[in-house]
Amino acid sequence: MRILVIEDEKKIANFVKRGLKEEGYAVDVAGDGEDGYSLITINFNEYDLIILDVMIPKIDGFSLCKKLREEKINIPILMLTGKDDVTDKVKGLNSGADDYLTKPFAFEELLARVRAILRMRGAHKVTKLEVGDIILDLLTHKVTRANKEIILTTKEFSLLEYLMRNAGNVVTRTMISEHVWDVNFDTFTNVIDVYITYLRKKIDGGFSKKMLNTIRGRGYILKK
């Protein structure tokens, strides 16, 4: 899942980005409303959630939220603000935000609200993915193949989740970079190939049936 954080305070933006990435999310960051709007309009089909600060330069959070809703962009929005005022909360919700969180906040609360919003929007209706004899549990982050537990890193888990959601279809390196990494990913590196190799060894090693295959010149496919 891919999240956009629009926050001009670099310390907070980096704190949120680091925490969400550790939970397996791909995270992009914009430092002002205009950059945030550009990323959204370019990638609006890719983002599952927007974390939007109210007091940002160029286009403030309230105006940006209202603008997105007027343009029928219905990506869930979690609003952040330093103001603990009922009027501002009402204004944020009336502008189209799905939830509102006051600074300072504990990351655990932010994460709980992120999960709740995604769950309400149906993003987590499926709690387990199954392809062949591979089972991936989205809640416990446990992965098994033929009842044998497979230990994955956070990035390997995210990569396998994306492949399983697209099982039977070829996924390109560009598609993987957009969903598993973030907008700053250098597509000219071989990082994706390296992680595919790591993942293949873990899910196919010791099994006669090889499920993760490379399609030369195109990308990868997890066979059903």
Question: What pLDDT, on the 0 to 100 scale, is given for residue 187?
Answer: 66
pTM over 0.75: no
Final residue of a domain: which of 120, 147, 177?
120
Q: Which domain holds residue 132?
A: 128-222
Check whether residue 104 and residue 161 sit in a common domain: no
Check whether residue 26 and residue 54 sit in a common domain: yes
| Sole residue written with tokens 């709740």 | 116
Element (H, E) at 129: strand 128-131
CA neighbor of 74 nearest in space, from 45, 112, 37: 45
Check whether residue 115 and residue 162 sit in a common domain: no
Check whether residue 116 and residue 132 sit in a common domain: no
Q: Range with the lowest mean pLDDT among 91-105, 145-159, 198-212?
A: 91-105
Check whether residue 25 and residue 69 sit in a common domain: yes
Supply the CATH number for residue 156's domain: 1.10.10.10
For residues 172 and 179, which has the higher predicted lDDT (pLDDT)? 172
Check whether residue 66 and residue 143 sit in a common domain: no
Q: Where are the alpha helices (DSSP H) in the chain?
A: 10-22, 33-43, 61-70, 86-94, 107-120, 154-165, 173-180, 191-204
User: Number of structural domains, the chain?
Assistant: 2
Question: What pLDDT, on the 0 to 100 scale, is given for residue 168?
Answer: 92
What confidence tier does 189 reach under pLDDT thresholds 50, 70, 90? confident
Check whether residue 69 and residue 97 sit in a common domain: yes
CA distance 199 to 170: 16
CA distance 224 to 220: 13
Average pLDDT for the chain: 89
Check whether residue 111 and residue 36 sit in a common domain: yes
Q: Is it the case that residue 147 has pLDDT exceeding 70?
A: yes
| Sole residue written with tokens 């979690």 | 78
Final residue of a domain: which of 120, 146, 170?
120
What confidence tier does 93 reach under pLDDT thresholds 50, 70, 90? confident
Final residue of a domain: which of 64, 88, 120?
120
Q: Is it the case that residue 193 has pLDDT exceeding 80?
A: yes
CA distance readout (Å), 156 to 68, 195, 211: 33, 7, 15
The fraction of the chain above a pLDDT of 90, given in percent, is 65
Check whether residue 6 and residue 109 sit in a common domain: yes
Q: Is it the case that residue 150 has pLDDT exceeding 60?
A: yes
Q: How many CB atoms lie within 10 A of CB 74?
A: 12
Supply the CATH number for residue 93's domain: 3.40.50.2300
Check whether residue 52 and residue 148 sit in a common domain: no
Check whether residue 136 and residue 198 sit in a common domain: yes
Mean pLDDT within 101-116: 91
Tell me phi and psi for residue 13, to 5 degrees.
Answer: -60, -45
